[in-house]
Structure 1
């Protein structure tokens, strides 16, 4: 795959695509918790309600050209919007780089690698959306989690069919069941500590991580609690959360999962080597 496609070109194109997706994610983050359609009506200024023109909806660039103000009423446009677009573009580029790097050292169908890449880009999209929503309203909406589970299963089934790697698919099923059960036990054992939204997200993340390998699953699961602990301490020390039930765990789960995606295999290999198990 890496021989057929210039890595720099693929990463750059994917980054631009990420900017566009980031613009849409801003809509998702605002509308889904409110129970609104993400399709209609078209985006408009929340102050003057004037529909946003196409030329004023170019990711990041329009915000800079307009000097962070609505063209019609002059109300300030929050910096969060271009920040989400820019960060999503960078994250998409990193996913493309990760897939190309993995494809360069593993055998398999190019179309299978491409399908896995699409699945990871989709996971990155919902990761950004769910992180922001959980930070805003302390919820992980079913309207995102349920469809995401279906989409990711379909994509990775296709990837297995194209690459002939059915073992990865069954490993994903076991990972989904195992991580989901673990979070369910935590939710029951510590009321208020975990929500059912976390349990459902654990099933989705467990499936994808285990599909990639046991290393990504183990490192991703542990990484969630490591990131969550650091995140909780920062929020508590800054007075932005309460000691009990005030720290959303979804962002930490997602951050840990991506640590597993990017570094899980190498960290796990080093760990078992140190223990003499390799």
Structure 2
């Protein structure tokens, strides 16, 4: 007898949340050059190793009331948030694609985007050790995703990297200083490898819309003295645009075309 749909959905969320716990380690350690394997998870305040019963995704944060079980130092809300986002990602992909190779591919892709987004938010960098191997790894999309083929992969990489490179070049030529980092260029090339050239244009458009909304919101709530110092990374908005394409892109494109007619 096959497991019920509800059971698989619950397991998908739990699996995603557990992966999210590991993503927290990567987000915290990779930018500072620490190993993501050792030492085991520990409290940054008291350095006590975190036992498994204090390391249950989302639940441990709630049970411990957001504090270390040993020294009572506050635990960042970031940890359960990443676990929740990754759990919802796994659940959403299961609803969208079922238990298929494409679902596994896009879950891995989405997990990398989550790591990149939070690192970019914290440090304003997108590590090459994620984006460059990601271009190669996610070029395999034509093997896992039915609607992708090798031509789409190649054009996706060229369009993704080329468009932002051109934007950055023109901006530098006009303003004489760098307005967009090379990390964003490599990220969009990686996105193009995973979702193709159509996905690149969709991601760039929706990412710009999300970025504009996010930027206006941040500036609106910032103090006057802080406005000139505010730096808003583009990576999280590109990542959000790519995930939007995976879940709703085709439907939104059809809706827009019908609207024009």
Give me the TM-score of the superposition, normalised by structure 1. Answer: 0.83
CA distance in 2, matches of 1:55, 1:20: 13
Shift in CA distance, 45/35, structure 1 to aligned 2, threshold 3 Å: same
CA distance in 2, matches of 1:157, 1:207: 9
Shift in CA distance, 197/94, structure 1 to aligned 2, threshold 3 Å: same
- Pick aligned residue for 1:175 from 153, 156, 167: 156
Cα shift at 1:148: 2.3
- Would you say 1:262 and 2:247 are equivalent positions? yes
Cα shift at 1:244: 8.1
CA distance in 2, matches of 1:264, 1:7: 25
- Would you say 1:247 and 2:228 are equivalent positions? no
- Would you say 1:94 and 2:101 are equivalent positions? no
Tell me the alpha carbon deviations over residues 102-147 of structure 1, each in whole angstroms, 9 at most, x when there is no partner: xxxxxxxxxxx72211111011111211111111110111122123
CA distance in 2, matches of 1:202, 1:96: 25
Tell me the alpha carbon deviations over residues 79-104 of structure 1, each in whole angstroms, 9 at most, x when there is no partner: 2211221221112211221213xxxx
CA distance in 1, matches of 2:157, 2:40: 37
Which blocks of at least 5 consecutive residues in structure 1 are unaligned? 101-112
- Pick aligned residue for 1:62 from 60, 63, 68: 60
Shift in CA distance, 9/170, structure 1 to aligned 2, threshold 3 Å: farther
Q: Could you say what secondary structure the match of 2:31 adopts?
A: coil
Cα shift at 1:52: 0.9
Give me the TM-score of the superposition, normalised by structure 2. Answer: 0.88
Shift in CA distance, 273/64, structure 1 to aligned 2, threshold 3 Å: closer
After superposition, the CA RMSD in angstroms is: 2.3
What is the aligned partner in structure 1 of residue 201 from structure 2?
A: 218
What is the aligned partner in structure 1 of residue 131 from structure 2?
A: 145
CA distance in 2, matches of 1:190, 1:6: 54
- Would you say 1:197 and 2:196 are equivalent positions? no
Which blocks of at least 5 consecutive residues in structure 2 are unaligned? 173-177
- Would you say 1:128 and 2:114 are equivalent positions? yes
Does the 8 Å contact 2:188/2:200 carry over to 1? no
- Would you say 1:37 and 2:44 are equivalent positions? no
What is the aligned partner in structure 2 of residue 76 from structure 1?
A: 74
CA distance in 2, matches of 1:57, 1:150: 33
Report 1:96-115 matches (<5 A): 96-100=94-98, 114-115=100-101
Does the 8 Å contact 1:56/1:62 carry over to 2? yes
Cα shift at 1:64: 2.1
